C-alpha cells in the first residue's frame, strides 16, 4: 500500500523546497524522490534526504527504514564525519586494513569475527578490508548509530540477522564479491574455504569440512560464482546423508564430483 502511494502521489510544488535542494545540490530525479517521500511520510526534507541517501536513493528502502523506526533519529553526519576521520587511512580517503583493525579493537570483536562481514553487508562494502566514506556513512545511518558505543550495542543485533533465512542468503551471496580480488571473476580457493568455514559455522552444515577437504584434494582452483551460490542451495536442500540427492539434478559438476568423492572414500553411506 505504501509503495502504491509512492508511485501515485502527485509531486508537491517545488518553490518551497528550493533552498534545501540548492543546499544539497540535488538533481531533478532526486528532488522528485524527496518530494514523494515527504508527501507519504510527512517527514521533514532533512529526514527525507538522509533516508534516501541511506538507502541509495531507493524510495521503497527509504520508506522501510523510516517506518522501522531506524530513520526517525538519524545520526548527525558531523558525528559520523568525526568517527570516520578517526579510522581513515592517512594517505587515501578510505578506511583500510589498519583502520578496520582499530575499529574492531574499539568494538571489542576479533577482525575474523563473522559480525564484521554482517557489518560490511550493511555498508554495501565493495571490497574486504576497505570502507569508503560513503559505505561507512550508509552502514552506520542504516543501523542508526553515530558512535562506537552505539555501534557496539548493535553487535548482538547483527548476530541475530544471521539467524534470519533470507538475510543469511543475502549475506552469503554478498560475501562472494566482497571477498574476491579486485578485477577477478572467481574467488581464490583459500579465501573461499575460509569464508565457507566462517559462514557454515553459523549455518552448521555438517559436510563443510568434507567439502573443504575435497576441494583441496581434487580441485585446487578458484571458485566460480555459480558454484558458490549453488552450494548454499545444496546445503539447504540435500540431506547430509545424501538420501535425497538426485544425480540427474542440475548441480554444478563440482558438486556432483563431491558426492562421488564422499561415496568413493566411504565418508558417507547412501541408501540404495
**pLDDT at residue 69 in the model:** 53
Tell me the mean pLDDT in the region 41-61: 80
**pLDDT at residue 56 in the model:** 78
**Is the separation of the CB atoms in 126 and 178 below 8 Å?**
yes
Domain assignments of the chain as residue spans, ordered by start: 2-67, 77-160, 165-264
The pLDDT tens digits of the residues spanning 82-135 come to 999 999 999 999 999 999 999 999 999 999 999 999 999 999 999 999 999 999
pTM exceeds 0.85: no
Of 218, 241, 54, residue with least CA distance to 134: 54
The pLDDT tens digits of the residues spanning 242-268 come to 999 998 888 999 999 999 999 998 887
- Do the two domains 77-160 and 165-264 of this chain adopt the same fold? yes
Which residues are bridge partners to 187 per DSSP? 223
Does pLDDT of 12 surpass 50?
Answer: no
CA distances from 129 to 20, 95, 116, 181 (A): 36, 8, 10, 11
d(CA 221, CA 122): 30
DSSP string, the chain: -HHHHHHHPPPPPSGGGHHHHHHHT--HHHHHHHHHHHHHH---HHHHHHHHHHTTT-HHHHHHHHHTTSSTTPPPHHHHHHHHHHHS-SSSSEE-HHHHHHHHHHHT--TT-THHHHHHHHHT-SSTT-EEHHHHHHHHHHHT--SHHHHHHTHHHHHHHTTSHHHHHHHHHHHHHHHSPTT-SSB-HHHHHHHHHHHHHHHT-TTHHHHHHHIIIII-SPBPHHHHHHHHHHHHHS-TT-TT--TTS---HHHHHHHHHHHHTTSS----
CATH number of 165-264: 1.10.238.200
| CATH superfamily for domain 77-160 | EF-hand (1.10.238.10)
d(CA 140, CA 80): 8
Lowest mean pLDDT among 72-76, 130-134, 205-209, 219-223: 72-76
**pLDDT at residue 72 in the model:** 46
Amino acid at each position: 500500500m505504501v509503495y502504491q502511494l509512492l508511485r501515485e502521489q502527485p509531486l508537491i510544488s517545488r518553490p518551497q523546497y528550493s533552498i534545501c535542494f540548492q543546499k544539497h545540490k540535488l538533481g531533478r530525479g532526486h528532488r522528485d524522490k524527496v518530494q514523494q517521500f515527504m508527501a507519504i511520510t510527512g517527514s521533514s526534507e532533512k529526514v527525507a534526504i538522509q533516508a534516501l541517501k541511506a538507502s541509495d536513493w531507493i524510495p521503497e528502502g527509504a520508506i522501510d527504514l523510516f517506518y522501522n523506526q531506524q530513520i526517525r533519529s538519524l545520526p548527525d553526519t558531523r558525528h559520523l564525519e568525526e568517527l570516520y576521520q578517526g579510522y581513515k587511512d592517512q594517505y587515501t580517503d578510505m578506511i583500510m586494513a589498519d583502520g578496520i583493525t582499530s575499529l574492531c579493537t574499539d568494538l571489542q570483536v576479533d577482525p575474523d569475527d563473522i559480525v564484521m562481514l554482517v557489518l560490511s553487508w550493511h555498508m554495501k562494502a565493495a571490497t574486504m578490508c576497505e570502507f569508503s566514506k560513503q559505505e561507512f556513512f550508509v552502514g552506520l545511518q542504516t543501523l542508526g548509530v553515530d558512535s562506537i558505543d552505539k555501534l557496539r550495542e548493535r553487535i548482538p543485533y547483527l548476530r541475530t540477522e544471521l539467524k534470519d533465512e533470507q538475510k543469511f542468503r543475502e549475506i552469503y551471496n554478498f560475501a562472494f564479491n566482497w571477498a574476491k580480488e579486485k578485477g577477478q571473476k572467481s574467488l581464490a580457493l583459500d579465501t573461499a574455504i575460509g569464508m565457507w568455514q566462517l559462514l557454515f559455522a553459523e549455518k552448521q552444515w555438517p559436510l563443510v569440512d568434507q567439502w573443504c577437504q575435497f576441494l583441496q584434494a581434487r580441485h585446487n582452483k578458484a571458485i566460480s560464482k555459480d558454484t558458490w551460490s549453488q552450494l548454499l542451495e545444496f546445503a539447504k536442500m540435500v540431506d547430509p546423508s545424501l538420501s535425497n540427492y538426485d544425480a540427474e539434478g542440475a548441480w554444478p559438476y563440482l558438486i556432483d564430483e563431491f558426492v562421488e568423492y564422499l561415496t568413493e572414500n566411504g565418508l558417507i553411506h547412501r541408501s540404495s
